[in-house]
Amino acid sequence: MGHNSSVAAKLNPEQRKQLFIEMQSSAQTITALAKNKGVSRSFLYKQQQKGNQALELGFSQPKDESDIVYWIPVTKNWIFQVILGLIFICHSSYRGVVEFLRDLFDYPISVATVHNRVNSVVEKAQEINKSQDLSRVKVGLKDEIFQSRLPVLAGIDAFSTYCYLLAGAEHRDEDTWGYHLLEASEQGLNPDYSIADAGKGLRAGHKAVWSEKPCHGDVFHILHQGEGLENYLERRAKGATSRREKLEAKMNKAKKKGQGNRWSKKLTVARFAEEKAQTLAQDVSNLCEWLKNDILALAGPDYRSRSQLWDFIVAELKQREALCVHRIRPFRTALENQKEDLLAFAAVLDEKLTDISQRFNIPLYLVRKVCFLQEQKSQQNSYWAKWNQLHHQIGSQFYLLTEAVEQAMKETPRASSLVENFNSRLRNYFFLRRTLGNDYLDLLRFFLNHRTFMRSEHPEREGKSPTELLTGESHSHWLELLGFDLFRKPAIVA
């Protein structure tokens, strides 16, 4: 009996299936077959029962054929994948995973088990993160996001959005940034330049690691600050108008009673204040529009011209500073202090356009006109008028020149808005947690770098992950990279 049990225990699923087939097709009795195979009759009867159940299930007709799409083998390994999918794809909390498995799969599981399952794949994710060659990152975007009043340092590649840095820290000073950037540099990170906001610790850390590499300013933050100033002055002007209108209404009522002189002085002051507020709001709005649409626009004048226009705007703001010191001075000071960093992109673009001019033997002013053309909307008649004119002037090289200019503009980012967007995606994961451990952040970084984009404004990104965009090489599904066998829907036989 012991011998039969040991033989039966060693049979794999395929061998057990063959036993059932032999039982159905063989003329031997169960006793004879059991003796020949070295197993017990009860074991064969159990296999026969399983086989009959499978046949019944395969040939049974459901009440509604649309009820069953296909069958999924719910194994512990598959449950493990569901846990990771719910947490990272669906942004579920641990308790949400527990509830999902309990209600939809009748599978009880504890929060601690979910936590342990997640932690068990951290080491593999960290290994993959550390093995990635970062030498292909040419422009790095860096920023900070806060969770429970503690900073999380983030850094991504400007072109692939590959995240090369995601780390929680107690501080965001030079030493902290320098340590993490130095650690990334050991994996080959050595960008041509970086883009970041005006954070002192961030910039100091960058300089400590790459003293010869520039860190350009982020135009988004300065433009946002300018928009805030515009909106404030506009609201103040509207408030002055409302005060003047109220006084005029009171004046009209007073005139009917022969008491018009009572409000005349206050109304005169209100009209003067309204005019001054409206003039200031309009002037500052014009200056901010020039800053946005001319100086900091990608398709704009050369670096020298932008620098002169910048100084003009700073001077004009300084003249009006006394009219609203607490709002205009911070903006004007920021413009003065960040000029070189914020205009650095213009020098990079000038160098690229000069190279294109020499390569195609086309005058630089025509190359810059092609650059300006890319910023216009093709639906406008003026666009095609300029297009035809440039095509006639440049000749047969027009299409290749346009392609080169487009590529140069595409490879000259001005803002760290991509990392800001990345931070907004992180919020979907952070808000579920009171504290963030670096193990979790490493696993999250692995997931975000290896999940594919389902949709994108750029067709070349669709169906690819940041890692594939960075390396130019395909990779397995992120679950397979963690060691799982990904479930595939079986082929349906008619």
Residues 236 and 315 both lie in one domain: yes
3-state secondary structure of 150: strand
Output the pLDDT for position 127. 95
Residues 263 and 286 both lie in one domain: yes
Residues 260 and 303 both lie in one domain: yes
Q: In terms of residue numbers, what domain contains 87?
A: 76-120
Q: Would you place residue 491 in the very low, low, confident or very high pLDDT band (cuts 50, 70, 90)? A: low
Residues 91 and 16 both lie in one domain: no
Report if residue 363 sits inside a domain.
yes
Question: To 10 degrees, what angle do helices 219-256 and 261-290 make?
Answer: 160
Residues 140 and 104 both lie in one domain: no
365: phi > 0 → left, psi -120 to 50 → alpha, else beta; which?
alpha
% of the chain with per-residue pLDDT over 70? 95
**Residues ≥6 apart with Cβ < 8 Å to 148:** 434, 435, 436
The yes-or-no verdict on residue 275 having pLDDT over 50 is yes
Under DSSP, the state recorded for 269 is: H
Domain end, chosen from 312, 342, 372, is at 342
Q: Report CA Rg, the chain.
A: 34
Q: Report residue 453: phi and psi, to 5°.
A: -75, 120
Report if residue 444 sits inside a domain.
yes
CATH of the domain at 462: 3.30.420.10
Residues 379 and 319 both lie in one domain: no
Report if residue 237 sits inside a domain.
yes
300: phi > 0 → left, psi -120 to 50 → alpha, else beta; which?
beta
Which pLDDT tens digit goes with each residue over 323-337?
A: 999 999 999 999 999
Report if residue 94 sits inside a domain.
yes
As a residue count, the chain comes to 494
Output the pLDDT for position 114. 93
Q: Would you place residue 494 in the very low, low, confident or very high pLDDT band (cuts 50, 70, 90)? A: very low
The yes-or-no verdict on residue 44 having pLDDT over 70 is yes
Domain end, chosen from 319, 342, 365, is at 342
Task: Note whether 394 and 366 are within 8 A (CB).
Answer: yes
Output the pLDDT for position 1. 46
> Mean pLDDT, to the nearest integer, of 342-354?
94
* Number of folded domains that form the chain: 5
Report if residue 349 sits inside a domain.
no
Domain end, chosen from 342, 368, 396, is at 342
Question: Which of 64-68, 73-77, 446-450 is modeled with the greatest confidence?
Answer: 446-450
Give the residue, 123 or 27, on which the prediction is more confident. 123
Task: Note whether 301 and 294 are within 8 A (CB).
Answer: yes
Report if residue 66 sits inside a domain.
no
Q: Would you place residue 62 in the very low, low, confident or very high pLDDT band (cuts 50, 70, 90)? A: low
> Mean pLDDT, to the nearest integer, of 395-414?
91
Residues 284 and 226 both lie in one domain: yes
Which pLDDT tens digit goes with each residue over 366-378?
A: 999 999 998 888 8
Which pLDDT tens digit goes with each residue over 436-487?
A: 788 999 999 999 999 998 887 778 888 899 999 999 999 999 999 999 988 8
Within 10 Å of residue 343's Cβ, how many Cβ atoms? 20
Q: Report residue 166: phi and psi, to 5°.
A: -155, 100
Residues 360 and 466 both lie in one domain: no
b (16+ CB within 10 A) / e for 228-260: ebbebbbebbeebbebbeebeeebeeeeeeeee
